A and B are shown apart, each in its own frame.
Chain A
Amino acid sequence: AQKITQTQPGMFVQEKEAVTLDCTYDTSDQSYGLFWYKQPSSGEMIFLIYQGSYDEQNATEGRYSLNFQKARKSANLVISASQLGDSAMYFCAMRGLNRDDKIIFGKGTRLHILP
């Protein structure tokens, strides 16, 4: 069975510092995809970044990068130069790359950016 673990229920970070949000996963699939979503206080779910298990380079999207360590089954999200607007709940998610594979989510990390 697939599983996503986010061990940090909450984090406080000073504005402009870099942030690393931890995510480990467990799967027996050879091919899978990893996602990060942001949920601000308004409640909507915002897709941030995707990493395929076969991608050799870490994914990057603006200030977001995914530190993918396949052997350790780790897919940490790195936010560079954090901003007040980054305060939100962040979810790590995974799916296998077969048709019937659903996305499963971790329990989330609440990030607070301090001015």
Chain B
Amino acid sequence: DAEITQSPRHKITETGRQVTLACHQTWNHNNMFWYRQDLGHGLRLIHYSYGVQDTNKGEVSDGYSVSRSNTEDLPLTLESAASSQTSVYFCASSAGTEINEQFFGPGTRLTVL
């Protein structure tokens, strides 16, 4: 069955370190998204991609970057982790159809000390 996976599921890191969160989907979806979820804020869009070599900034993109070298993967990089980036991160993908239902990964809980 097609799926979307994230790794690691849990990560603890220190302030200033570079961190990369992986997202891999086997749906063959063109569209991929990264969100962060924080109490009181719901899900906020960090970056998104509508295809290979395409990346776009979301509403909370500062301090994050993504690259899309193939259809299946959209890794999220925190260039220099900050305590404010402690959050749960969700990756999602969608086929780009009219309904554009997004399928979500299981999430990565990141703690920055």
Contacts and interface: CB of A to CB of B under 8 A. Distances in A.
User: What is the size category of the interface that chain A forms with chain B?
Assistant: 20 to 34
A50 B99 contact: yes
Contacts of A97: 98
A102 B104 contact: no
B106 A44 contact: yes
Contact of B101 (A50, A100, A104): A50
A47 interface: yes
A105 B98 contact: no
Contact of A102 (B45, B99, B101, B103): B45
B91 to A, nearest CB: 10
A33 B100 contact: yes
A107 interface: yes
Contact of B104 (A44, A52, A108): A44
Contacts, number: 48
Interface in A6-42: 33, 35, 37
Nearest to A102: B45
A47 B102 contact: yes
Contacts of B56: 100
A43 B43 contact: no
B3 to A, nearest CB: 11
Interface of A: 33, 35, 37, 43-45, 47, 50, 52, 91, 95, 97, 99-100, 102-108
Interface of B: 33, 35, 40-45, 48, 50, 56, 58, 88, 90, 92, 96, 98-104, 106-107
